[in-house]
Amino acid sequence: MLFFQQIYRGPLRRGRRGAPAAKRPSGCQGNVRKDRTQTGRESECVDLYLTTGRQMEKNTQALPPHSPLHFPRNNSEALPLSPSLPQPASLHSSHLHSSSSPRVSGGSHCLSLSTAPEQDDLTCLNWLHQRGNLLPLQPLPKISTLPQMFDPIPAQHLPSSPAKPPYSFSSLIFMAIEDSPEKSLPVKGIYEWIVENFPYYKEAPGGWRNSVRHNLSLSKSFQRIHRDKSQSVGKGSLWRVCPEYRPALLEVLRKTHYCHRTNRSLLNKPVLLEATDNGQNMFNETMELSDLDSLSSNPPCSFTPDHEELIPMESVGLPEVTGEDTEKDPLADSGYIELHYYQYQQYQYLVLPGDTELDLETVEILQLDAEAQEAAGSLLDLAGGNH
DNA sequence: ATAACATTAAACACGT
DNA sequence: AACGTGTTTAATGTTA
């Protein structure tokens, strides 16, 4: 649960997000969000992100840790998503040990990260950078210093009143559900998660709950599942994330994160939710990395209202994943590189874009300590030197 | 200018 | 009856 490294060579497509409406003339309590500036990060850059995560045992059991095919069975497994978890300070000095033969598409890597720079990025929602393709790295000894890893933000830096999270309700719901052990929550559970993790909503007018329900109903990204009557407690159904839309949700989160990465007030609660496989495998174990990437970067569709049916508890099928309809990212060769270290339990993962070519030299560089990795130029050179 | 997306409010039905 | 849940419609704002 410690860190991960992702190498993302490619673009940051600007999100196309609508912003909350300003106060309506009728007097409705709208929320004007003026901080929704699109930074866009279109120029090349190199970032080292660290984050925490939880629980990855299931993933690591599917295949031998060193197997080239051993990688999280779906996107979520390597996704730390929990805003409520403290940000481990020791991450700033984690280690990425390296080892095995370099292989981009499914190869295992042993990387060693050390001394990451202290920067806001390290306390950001780094997991948002998670891409679909995760490569298992060499198992690491568990880091048992979680308590000291917490890097609290000085009280004087905390906003007096919680700022409204930049995340859309879809994203909030997504995070809430993914953070649940069963990967499903009743509406009430979603409320509670949001309130617990985003204090803004603790004091916000109750209208947002309506918005949550509205979103659940309207968005294709979420599915209502029948509750087992025998063990039903409370009203309503359980809601889960539709696996088919998971990559799109991840993408939205990632974009949101990028747009707000400089807003410290929004980053004071690192999201570390880690989505584990819950019988909702997005990918099979033989899927190529390119498939993962295309799946992640080419969501099947947008979030439009189209709830079709109430799915039964047990019907959680695998979406058909093909790379044929995916279009190449026009900015894929922009030279943008993003490092993402990810450690899940005792394993490390290297997240790569599907078409990344990782050669020995690259791996060597990745094995450099964080200080060296800060040398963005080197990494940019790896991207083609067009920076 | 437009479409797509997001937010918010409100009304209504239904179940507990 | 009250409340929570789920669905739907509408108005409005933002952004690509």
State the pLDDT at residue A251.
75
| Structure confidence at residue A229 (pLDDT) | 56
Answer whether residue A46 shows pLDDT above 50.
Answer: no
pLDDT range class, residue A204, cuts 50, 70, 90: confident
Give the distance, in angstroms, between residue A182 CA and nucleotide B8 C1': 30
- Does residue A246 carry a pLDDT above 70? yes
Give pLDDT tens digits for A217-241: 988 889 888 766 555 556 788 999 9
Judged by C1' against the alpha carbon of A31, the nearest nucleotide is B7
Which contiguous run of DSSP H or E holds residue A47?
strand A46-49
Q: What is the mean pLDDT of chain A?
A: 47
CA atoms of A197 and A256, how far apart (whole Å)? 17
A200: confidence class by pLDDT, cuts 50, 70, 90: confident
* The pLDDT value given to residue A29: 32
Q: pLDDT > 70: what percent of chain A? A: 22
Between CA A122 and CA A131, with CA A128 as vertex, the angle to 5 degrees is 120
> CA dist A83 to A17, A52, A134, A145, A288, Å?
21, 10, 22, 19, 31
Q: In DSSP terms, which residues pair with A49 in a beta bridge?
A: A340
Beta partners for residue A305, in sequence order = A219
Nearest to A224 by CA among A308, A318, A317: A308
Q: Is A364 exposed, middle or buried (0-12, 13-18, 19+ CB in 10 A)?
A: exposed
Tokens describing residue A101: 């033969």
Residue A210 to residues A22, A170, A307, A310, Cα–Cα distance (Å): 17, 13, 17, 20
CA distance A47 to A130: 13
Percent of chain A with pLDDT over 90: 5
Q: Which of A33-42, A187-196, A226-235 has the lowest mean pLDDT?
A: A33-42
Residue A178 has pLDDT above 60, yes or no: yes
The A 231-250 residues near strand C by Cβ under 7 Å are: 234-237, 239
Edge-first strand order for the sheet with A238-241 is: A184-186, A238-241, A222-225
pLDDT at res. A233: 55
What is the per-residue pLDDT for A213? 93
pLDDT of residue A190: 92
**Average pLDDT for A150-176:** 68
Residues 20-79 of A with CB under 7 A from strand B: 20-21, 24, 28-31
Which residues, in sequence order, are CB contacts of A36 under 8 Å at separation 6+? A17, A19, A166, A259
Q: What are the backbone dihedrals phi and psi of residue A148, each rounded to the nearest 5 degrees, phi first? A: -80, -10
Considering only residues A285 and A191, tell me which one the structure prediction assigns the higher pLDDT: A191
A210 touches strand B (CB under 7 A): yes
Read off the pLDDT band of A207 (50, 70, 90).
confident
Nucleotides of C under 7 A from a protein CB: 4-16
- pLDDT value at residue A231: 53
pLDDT of residue A206: 78
Task: Label residue A55 exposed, middle or buried (CB < 10 Å: 0-12, 13-18, 19+).
Answer: middle
> Mind listing the pLDDT tens digit for each residue in A307-354?
445 555 555 443 333 333 333 333 333 333 333 333 333 333 334 433
What is the DSSP track for A308-361?
Answer: --PBPTT--PPPP--STTPPPPTTTTS--EEEEEEEETTEEEEE--TT----HH
Residue A109 in this model has a pLDDT that exceeds 90: no
Residue A208: what pLDDT? 92
CA distance A377 to A362: 13
Question: Stated in angstroms, how far is A284 CA from B10 C1'?
Answer: 44
Question: pLDDT band at residue A245, thresholds of 50, 70 and 90?
Answer: confident
How far is the C-alpha of A303 from the C-alpha of A294, rounded, in Å?
Answer: 18
- pLDDT of A239 reads 92
